[in-house]
Structures are given as C-alpha cells and as structure tokens.
Structure 1
C-alpha cells in the first residue's frame, strides 16, 4: 500500500467528501448502531482511527462525549472537522494525532476502538489487531467497518486497478484470534449516476482515487465510457460499495 498516494488522494477533498461520500456516511451510522448495543457504559479511554471528515466521529462523540478520546487520521485537514464536532458535543478531553494509524502509538487500557471505512488501507491488519488487543482492557469493544471484494467492482473491472479487499471470512479468521465476535455482517450499497464520467468525478471528490493510479487520456476515457454501458440499469450507472461490519469484544 502506497500511503503517500492515500494521503494525496484525500488531501484537500474533505469538503467535497462530506457531500459526495453518501455510502460512507450511511456505513458510519450503521456501524455506530451495531456498536452501541455492546457498549454499556461510557468508555473511559476511546480511540478512533481514520476519522476523515468525521462521519463516525459525529456518531461517537454524540454518544460518548465524556470519554477521553484520541482521534487519528493520515491527513492533517481531518483535524479541523473533528475539532468542530468535539465543540458541538462539548467533548473537551480529546486529542488528535496526524499519522499513519499503523505507526501510531496506542494508549494503554483502551475501552473502545472504532474505525469506519479506513482499515482497508492497512498493510498488516493481523499485526495491527495483535497490537491493538494488547492495548485494550478485557471486555473492551472494537468496532470497525471495511470493504469487501465487490467494492467499486465496476471500476476494477474496467481499469484493472484497485485494492485487494478482504473477504468477510478472512476478516473473521483474523479477528477471532484476538476478539469474541459480537456482530459481523456485510451488504452491498449501489449509488447511481447519470453518466459514467460522473462516476469518475465521484471517485475523485471522495479521495478514493488514491487507489486508482490511472492516467486518463482521451482514448482511455472513451473506452471507459463505452465499457460502463454494460453496467447500465434503469436507475442509471451504478457504483457498488461492499461494506463489512465487525464488532468484537477483547478476549
């Protein structure tokens, strides 16, 4: 994973991400709803990585504003969004760390760890889970969403580029080494566009283009538009998101 490409892809796009990333916002809301069924008390120490423009931060701080929070993102511009949310819910015991989450030092005695639409960028999820589990209290809750193999399948089929997404089965295999699984499910979310070029615009404005290193010549753009006709439906040109949700309890 080229983390510099990830950082560049998201840098400067968070304003448009807030309006364009409708699937990611829906995913954050659902993850929080699954999580809160298992968080009985306000967590003393809580960590969120990959905050982005704060879709999940909004859900977390609205519920647990009194917790000690450490927020993280690889892109510096994320901090301003999370700070505004913290102010909105009078969450005063918060700290923001700008860093690659896989390199960030974790605090001790974590009660809640959450991350939405971010860990698909990790190079070593198994290793991260092992380190995370050592930093969590017994019974602490981990709540994450990531993406499965059908994510952005139309783009991958036409360009040959994209991430190697994890399957639900593989994620379960990794997670069960360190956590009791409380909730685990997946779904497909299809967003429809008027023209194929609108799909590319959406990818750019949500920052996901860091996963698709493509030089769009006139010829390639024409071929893309023609190829996307195969996916057309009565609702328009679809783009598929394939979220996987995991809520677990530290063993």
Structure 2
C-alpha cells in the first residue's frame, strides 16, 4: 500500500472503522512513511478540535432574533432549513452592509475589500432564505459531480462529517461577474459557508494576516461573522461562520489538503 492507496483509509483508520486486515495494512505503511503519519495525526487533531465546538454557537444578539425551522419536503430530504423573521433578516443584512462600509472588526480599522464584504453578505443572505442551496445532498461526491456538470470544473468538497459538520449542499453564485462555487455546512445550529471564486483577485484591505501550518491566510470579522480568506491558482477561497477562528482555520487547512489530493489524482 502506497501513499495514494492509503488516502481513502486515513479517516476510517482515525475513526477506528477499519477491519483487522485493512488496519494492519495501513499501520504497515505508516511505520515507514512520515508524511502519512503526519496526515493521520493532523486528522486526529482536526477531529478533536471541532468536536469541542458547542452545538449552538450563534451570538446572543442574533440567537434572540433567529429561529430554526425544520420543515422538510420531498425535494429537500434531510436539508435543515432556516427561517428568519423579516425584521431580523433586514437588520442582519443592514448590519453586514454597515460593517463592510465601516470596517468593523477586532483586528482591523480599515474597510474590507468589496469581495470580502460581498462574500460575508452572501453568507448572511443564504442563511435566511427558504432554499439556500440549489443542489441538496450530504454526499461530497454527489455535490462534486453536480458542480462538474454545471461549471465544467472540479470543485473540492471536503467531508467534515467526522468533526460534526454536516454538508447540506451547494449552489452556483455570481461574485462581480465571476462564477462562484458555494458550499453550505451545518454544525448544530450554526451554518458555515465555503466559497470558491474563479478568476478573482484577493485584496487584503481590512483583514489581518495569519500564518497557519505554514500557509498565509487573511482573517476578517464583519457583523459578528468570522472569515478566513486565501488565494491559490487564480482562485479565491473563503470559509465564513460564527465558529471560532481556530476551527475555521482547521477547515481551511483541510480544504487545502483535499485540493492537493484532488490535483494529484
């Protein structure tokens, strides 16, 4: 078993789900492969960290206004929908817009770029509409195939389920004329958005720079939402939620690792 063959077994191995023969084969490879040892160790850290997150992480001022609806229909299957009172929704969008203009955030006193403000606004908007995703599925492969058919490009769809973060589905958005792949996840009562914008440049205005596991990210707080942003291969990526920054950076790092695996396949 080589590094490529072991990749699908990393998570089942870390979760203790492999049979005796498969486990022995993985451990035989790990004995002599430092890179895969680190991959297994990082998966364990990722899983442990995100399981510490509370089931309900919304800020108190938003939680008082936001109620959760569990309406299901045949077309949506297991998708958990969110219902927001009209006044609260208007206040939330207004708050995002105001913060984008005034650069509100604990580490920045300058105005965030229009791209960052737009992505945070999309996160807030999609969280309160009746149908936040076009294609509803908790299966990463199905969502990846849907994006390939619709966009003609490979979109990496991380599986955060072992960390308690459930995939809800995806949609295609438009960001200043650029096609954008949007993934929606749910951690308890908290939504997390992942964006991939093709052909856009990341302007770090209004952000703080942070190096995490050797890679440079930009972070920004807008309207009680945390955002982690980075650029690779003429694409801009964003992970936005009210989860804490350490968790978002773990998710961003996992996305980058999965993209690396996809590109090697």
Query: What TM-score do you get using the length of structure 2 for normalisation?
Result: 0.24
Query: What TM-score do you get using the length of structure 1 for normalisation?
Result: 0.25
Compare relative contact order (CA 8 Å, sep 6+) and give the higher one, 1 or 2. 1
